[in-house]
Structure 1
């Protein structure tokens, strides 16, 4: 599926992200702690994150004109997150400030193998509602591609998916975090469903250990209504199942991973930016893989996301 670039868009098409914004509090440790165990961490860092914010920054750095719809707290973390998005050129007219809830936070432990464990406190992200979506329908209508995740309330996500279908926009859903199958009426609203292997297993109940397993899960998700399914497999690449039923495995570029935080978000933002600019799906996947592979060679969530100049240079 090819999406035309927005008219007059010098840097590409338009992407609107509906989703979460968190302040990431990141500790590096030799390994992930076991239940009840206390470990001595090596370093601590604070960085802008949240799946919605990460995907918005990735799309903006990689060529799209981006609008963000979400909610932060009226606190220092919220001010910093808003300022960071605005510095990327992201339209924050749809970013509300809660009068009562603090900005969301993510507590992240990264081990020496570059794997991570994350605990999220939603905070103000919980105040994104269907009314929020309705108030910003003009922003949705102006986009070529809409991106949603699952770190905001389900009724708001569903409202965004419905609005995207009604407005004829290309809808990307990153079903993260996923712990169970999605409601039956969600997948028919989705043009590109992009889970990782853990999320795809939760959505389908199928084990995923190989690209062939991922293909079976993708077919199950497509049978339930998703048009196109891309399952990201980390260092093993991406399994793509297109709307016509053709499956393809894209091996990942070989890199030395330092931190996998936001690699999936980088992939989704990059993929969506390329789709919005009119690229075909094959080119968008390859571009997104390059972006995600570069991101894992650097620490942090948004600090690790590359720019278009870095990929084109």
Structure 2
């Protein structure tokens, strides 16, 4: 496939308010540590990926759900400012989703997600054959099943957080994206046609039909926070593969995007156009 310009993307996924604190070291079970914060910011894997894709230069729309509350209105406006078409975001009776995040001095993090309105997300379209669709597992399994059955074009799944994915979804997915922990927790993912596994600061690898065929390092950077790295990477690799970039170019560019993301605080970092990372 020849390389072409970035195609349109529809992100179907979660929208959260991130409530984060910074600590010197992540606490172990039963331990209390002092933190700085809290800081309220925009988040949710779906919203993070939609914002990243728009900042990378794609035409992006999002399907999701927020509560009829100040947080929901603020999160939708934030996506609009990032350049995302928000007309497909529903307002429901449940409160807007919330993520509780702890970030240590090295940029590592722990996250607890309260789904709220995200449990009302549906996977119904319509979708055009020309647009890629990217989903994550912070929305109900029924929505993922609906997407797998109804998306006529390129379908990418970020199987995060780790949760069982049906064989039919894995057979349908054109691309599955996971990190090391998710890859280990979801062995069935290895059966997918194309899998990209992220390895944190060590880069990422690409697998076809269960065989590792390619790896790429991550550029060395001074980490501030890893909260937005995986979502920025997922947006980048989806756009690049959908655009027909060669595997090695796509993987290297996505690693560069992820590395850039960790140099910024927050889950929705500023990014350049995807072509600038080639």
Per the TM alignment, residue 244 of structure 1 is displaced from its structure 2 partner at its CA by: 9.3
Per the TM alignment, residue 103 of structure 1 is displaced from its structure 2 partner at its CA by: 0.3
The answer for the alignment partner of 1:207 in structure 2 is none
The equivalences for 1:265-304 within 5 A come to 265-302=231-268, 304=269
Aligned partner of residue 52 in structure 1, secondary structure: helix
- Structure 1: give runs of 5+ residues left out of the alignment: 6-11, 205-219
Per the normalisation by structure 1, the TM-score is: 0.83
Judge conservation of contact 2:214–2:248 (CA < 8 Å) in 1.
no
Per the TM alignment, residue 309 of structure 1 is displaced from its structure 2 partner at its CA by: 8.3
Per the normalisation by structure 2, the TM-score is: 0.93
Judge conservation of contact 1:3–1:276 (CA < 8 Å) in 2.
no
Write 1 or 2 for the structure with the bigger share of strand.
Answer: 2
Is the alpha carbon distance of 1:71 and 1:254 closer, same or farther for their aligned partners in structure 2, counting shifts above 3 Å? Answer: same
| CA shift digits 1:41-94 (9 cap, x unpaired) | 023321111000010011110011001000011111111111011112211111
Q: Does 1:195 align with 2:189?
A: no
Judge conservation of contact 1:290–1:311 (CA < 8 Å) in 2.
no
The answer for the alignment partner of 1:308 in structure 2 is 273
Alpha-carbon distance in 2 for matches of 1:176, 1:188? 17
Per the TM alignment, residue 37 of structure 1 is displaced from its structure 2 partner at its CA by: 2.6
Higher alpha-carbon deviation: 71-80 or 32-41: 32-41
Judge conservation of contact 2:237–2:254 (CA < 8 Å) in 1.
yes
Aligned partner of residue 146 in structure 1, secondary structure: strand
Higher alpha-carbon deviation: 182-191 or 101-110: 182-191
From 148, 160, 163, the counterpart of 1:161: 148
Aligned-residue CA RMSD in angstroms?
Answer: 2.1
Aligned partner of residue 231 in structure 2, secondary structure: helix
The answer for the alignment partner of 2:189 in structure 1 is 221
Alignment length (residue pairs):
278
Judge conservation of contact 1:16–1:143 (CA < 8 Å) in 2.
no
From 113, 118, 127, the counterpart of 2:120: 127
Higher alpha-carbon deviation: 141-150 or 24-33: 141-150
Judge conservation of contact 2:253–2:277 (CA < 8 Å) in 1.
no
The equivalences for 1:63-74 within 5 A come to 63-74=57-68
From 58, 80, 87, the counterpart of 2:81: 87
Is the alpha carbon distance of 1:103 and 1:291 closer, same or farther for their aligned partners in structure 2, counting shifts above 3 Å? Answer: same
Alpha-carbon distance in 2 for matches of 1:127, 1:3? 37
Aligned partner of residue 263 in structure 2, secondary structure: coil
Alpha-carbon distance in 2 for matches of 1:17, 1:50? 12
| CA shift digits 1:215-274 (9 cap, x unpaired) | xxxxx634x3x1111100001111111359561121111112111001010001112223
Q: Does 1:234 align with 2:200?
A: yes
Aligned partner of residue 42 in structure 1, secondary structure: strand
The answer for the alignment partner of 1:17 in structure 2 is 11
